[in-house]
Structure 1
Amino acid sequence: MPKKKTALTIEERLQQALVPAEEQPYEVPENWVWVRLGSLLKEIKNGTTIKQDKSGNGFSVTRIESLQNQTIDLMRVGTILETEKIKETDWYKSGDITLSHINSIEHVGKTALITDAMLPLVHGMNLLRLRFFEIYTPDLFQLYSQTYQYKNEIRSRINMAVNQVSINQKQLSSLEIPLPPLSEQQRIVERIEELFAKLDEAKERLQEAAESFAVRKAAILHKAFTGELTKQWRRENGVRDESWEEKTISEICSSLKYGTSKKSSDDGEVVVLRMGNLQNGEIDWSNLSYTSDEEDIKKYLLKSGDVLFNRTNSPELVGKTSIYRGEMPAIYAGYLIKLDYEKNIVVGDYLNYYLNSSKAKEYYMQVKTDGVSQSNINAKKIGEFEIPLPTLSEQHEIVRLINDLLARERSAQQAAEQALASIDLMKKSILARAFRGELGTNKASEESALELLRSLKFQP
């Protein structure tokens, strides 16, 4: 007969729960301990396999895609119509953690804390439900799951497959977790939430500043093309307000010329600019195509200062223009039109800026013709568009002022974006310090977390 296994003593169970010193990721305060995640869990459970649909009827049930940004997106849950099949053990409780254990490598291990506002909610398949003993605060684990240490430990345990990875219950239960005293757990959560709230407030303001660049640019262009921007300049230079006149594109351009209809390739002698290369009024020199067709190169070769108009694109992008500055030899594709403007009437940069103004975009929306997935503006409609024209010297001044103002705005936008990136780094730093006991909240006089483990008595 096989020898009957002897039941482990409480001390032996305690030693199983503790992480040996040589396996501890880093030092923590003396009244903290490193434990295996499994020792803190009442249960770790797979979700129900009851058939789901997206009808919106029945009870809501979590799916892999429900877990978004460390929470449950209730717009992405499924529903269970056969409600009679739902077991009592299938329901989430407030304080449960749901964890993605089958997913792509960048998403496996992501978690969400279940709150009262999400209930009633059924625990669905391909997500693990973690339910903690009272000695551990679920909110703390939710924060720990956002740390580099946690993510690194998850990835060190995953099972690889062709299109996705997974981590099983046993592997997850072996995860190392720093366990502070119970009161310290709550203080850490409160301190992190306080610091994150301040950072989120700053982040919101910075995002508004970064995202409002387009609005500020539109305001600058409006002032430029209504004469407000150069009002002082006209007074100083004795130029009358009445010097401005309206001219159509046809009046200021000798021709509106469509680009080549021939196909480009991945290599060749000369770049073929396509609609995707027109970005923010300039030429984007990434993702290029080429040609060696001598006839096309001779016929469509661009000159520095040429303005290109995107005649065919999605409805919101049709009508974009960019100015070619001679960076490298290039011709242009058939979805683009080159505006051969008269340089003794209009400055190329002035024309380019005006064709990207809100006034011009309003016109494009009115005259475009819509296809299945794209809109089109033909040369005739472009030619009928009127633009305000001051003297050439004032046009140059307007371009100079626009360039200067937009450079300042771009600088402010870049500073905001850099500050946004630093906020994310600050959050990571706060989390790293929090789980090392470095937020100034730990009280060394408090009873060791080891006593929390002893209080469980490790009953089977």
Structure 2
Amino acid sequence: MSELPSGWRIASLGEIGIVQSGIGFPNQEQGLTSGDYPVYKVGDVSRGVLQRNGNLQVAANYVTKRTAESLKGFVFPHGSTLFAKIGEALKLNRRGYVVRAGLADNNVMGYKGEPGVDDRFIYYFLKAQDFSSLSRSTTVPSIRKGDVEEVVVLLPPSAEQTRIAQKLDKLLAQVDTLKARIDAIPALLKRFRQSVLAAAVSGRLTEQWRAQNSATTPDHDAEIWGSQAQANLRIGNSDTSGFGWREVSLGEVCSVATGKTPGRKLAEYWDGGNIPWLTSAVTGSEFCSEADQYVTELAVKDCLLKLFPPGTLLMAMYGEGKTRGQVTELKITASCNQACAAITVNEGLAKREFVKIRLQENYEEIRKQAAGGAQPNLNLNKVREIGISLPPLDEQTEIVRRVEQLFAFADQLESKVQTAQARIDLLTQSLLAKAFRGELVPQDPNDEPASVLLERIRAQRAAQPKARRGRKAAAAN
């Protein structure tokens, strides 16, 4: 900015306030859940700034007033702004606004403006600063008190500081409300997708389609299934049986197999390999078109590895987190390890895409079928026993078409949400930048100029004893 707004002055943080570090606490002082003073740590600061106001009034640890005095800890008063002084950029750029006066541990640093400097103005100013750029360390980023004191502030008149802070409080509250609403949409879309899958496999999604295609009879697939249809299929045990759907198990319409892991100590099985070898980690994606590991042709031959063609559905049988029960579709020919079930659909009996829809819809139930101790697992028999309400082939095709259409709509909306989230983040930074250029609120010629405030702060400091800026005296501020 080439010219300062009317009444503004250039200052440093050190000229208009106090930068103070927290202190270390003996082990015996840890773990208190109540006391006179909260002890703010980096984690408390991080939680504080998850909200716009960043208020810090509750901490995990507390100390008594007597302990605080014995430790000679600096008591950060209401209106102080706390921040991490060590850690990666994300930690260094988080801010907490002190509502309940308290101490801070030695990984936290704080700032309190002198009288006449608006606390919320300073909080927002510090929120707009990138402290990671102040780090001189090449290992663990950290900041020093002197570097913070030298940060340049474009200082408005005191009254304008307050107007800016009040305006930011109002605008950023509105931004937060909007952000909360937009951030809630992905969860709604997840439920929407799940409801689409549920409607697809229950027949609700194609109710009108069946009414318009009433010429289709329950036995129109009889030739496909052959004379053993009645013996092999449990017809009539489902709400869908009345409109030509058949209750089958996965094993009746698919072949289910698994892979194995060649010996890791044999380099000839792995070095220079060109055959994709997959683990259950790939099931986190809708499709799998590449591998992280490869085996050699010798490994395939010696270990009798099965190669599964494109179109194979790969289900994770192991994993306690999200992995177990996930399904991906191969776009490549690949082998896999024993943690995966490779499902090859008999396309004459069922559509691969429909079977995949059923497995995705049944994810939570599939996970419950796992057995074992600390890490429950599925096995091939349990995978084969997964039930499917199977529509006639033409209805399967229609179901797949409708699911893909609805999912494409959800994907488009999700993309727009991501764009909106990015714009909201930029909006916050834009508002802060505008505020500190003097463009957010109008200047008032009747405001006391910042130059007068600076002179008053200098005079006050000159008149006070040097101990004023020490730990004990500062704690009384």
Same fold (TM over 0.5): yes
Quickly say closer, same or farther: Cα 1:110–1:229, change in 2 above 3 A.
closer
- 1:182-215 CA-to-partner distances (Å, cap 9, x unmatched) read 1111111111122212211111111111222221
Instruction: Please state whether the residue corresponding to 1:455 is helix, strand or coil.
Output: helix
Query: Which structure 1 segments of 5+ residues have no match?
Result: 1-24
Q: Match of 1:217? A: 193
The separation in 1 between residues aligned to 2:79 and 2:22, in whole angstroms, is: 16
**Mapping of residues 38-49 of structure 1, within 5 Å:** 38-41=14-17, 43-49=18-24
Q: How far off its partner does 1:309 sit? A: 1.5
Cα deviations across residues 224-263 of structure 1 (Å, max 9, x unaligned)?
Answer: 111111112212222355211100112112x321112225
One of 126, 130, 149 as aligned partner of 2:107: 126
Which AA in structure 1 matches 2:11? V
2:260–2:336 Cα contact (<8 Å) kept: yes
1:400 aligned residue = 401
**What secondary structure, in the 3-state scheme, does the structure 2 residue paired with 1:212 have?**
helix
1:108 to 77, 89, 92: 92
Within 5 Å, which residues of 2 pair with 1:62-101?
Answer: 62-68=40-46, 70=49, 71=54, 77-80=60-63, 83-84=66-67, 86=69, 90-101=74-85
Shift of 1:72: 6.4
Flag the 1:46–1:202 CA change in 2: closer, same or farther, 3 A: closer
Matched with 1:364 is 366
**1:228-307 equivalences in 2 (<5 Å):** 228-238=204-214, 239-240=216-217, 241-253=242-254, 255-262=255-262, 263=264, 268-283=273-288, 285=290, 288-294=292-298, 296=300, 299-307=305-313
Q: 1:110 to 1:325 in 2, by over 3 A?
A: closer
TM-score for both structures, normalised by structure 1: 0.84
Deviates more, 1:198-207 or 1:404-413: 198-207
| Alignment partner, residue 426 of structure 1 | 427
| Residues 313-340 of structure 1, C-alpha deviations (whole Å, 9 max, x = no match) | 11543111122234xx422222111123
Identity, in percent, stands at 20
Report how far residue 265 of structure 1 moved. Answer: 5.1
CA contact (8 A) 1:246 1:387 kept: yes
When residues 427 and 134 of structure 1 are mapped into structure 2, their CA distance, relative to the original with a 3 A threshold, is same
Query: Partner of 2:117 in structure 1?
Result: 136
Report SS of the residue matched to 1:300: coil
Task: Kindly indicate whether the alpha-carbon contact (under 8 Å) linking 2:311 and 2:344 is maintained by their aligned counterparts in 1.
Answer: no
Q: Is the 8 A contact 1:40 1:135 kept in 2?
A: no
- Whole-Å Cα distance in 2 between the matches of residues 112 and 50 of structure 1? 20
Q: Deviations over 1:99-133 (max 9, x none)?
A: 32233344336432111xx34x2233232332221
Aligned runs of 1:321-340 on 2, under 5 Å?
Answer: 321-326=327-332, 329-340=333-344
Aligned with 1:301: secondary structure? Answer: coil
Pair 1:163-2:140 in alignment: yes
How far did 1:281 drift? 3.5
- TM-score, normalised to structure 2, is 0.81
| 2:95–2:126 Cα contact (<8 Å) kept | yes
> Residues 74 and 382 of structure 1: is their aligned pair in 2 closer, same or farther, counting only changes over 3 Å?
farther
Distance in 2 between the 1:190 and 1:216 partners?
A: 39
Aligned to 2:232: none
Q: Deviations over 1:377-400 (max 9, x none)?
A: 111111122100011111111111
Cα-to-partner distance string for 1:139-168 (whole Å, 9 max, x where unaligned) = 111111122xx31xx445433153332212
Q: Deviations over 1:352-389 (max 9, x none)?
A: 110111xx2343243211332x3211111111221000
Count the aligned residue pairs.
420
Is the contact made by 2:271 and 2:296 (CA closer than 8 Å) also made in structure 1? no
Determine the structure 1 residue equivalent to 2:416: 415
- 8 Å Cα contact 1:308/1:339 also seen in 2: yes
- Conserved 8 A contact 1:312-1:318: yes
| Change in 2 beyond 3 A, CA 1:366/1:98 | closer
Give CA deviations for 1:69-99 in whole Å, capped at 9, x if unaligned: 5346677633447944535863232112223
**8 A Cα contact 1:277 1:284, kept in partner:** no
- The 3 A distance-change label for structure 1 pair 343 and 109 is closer
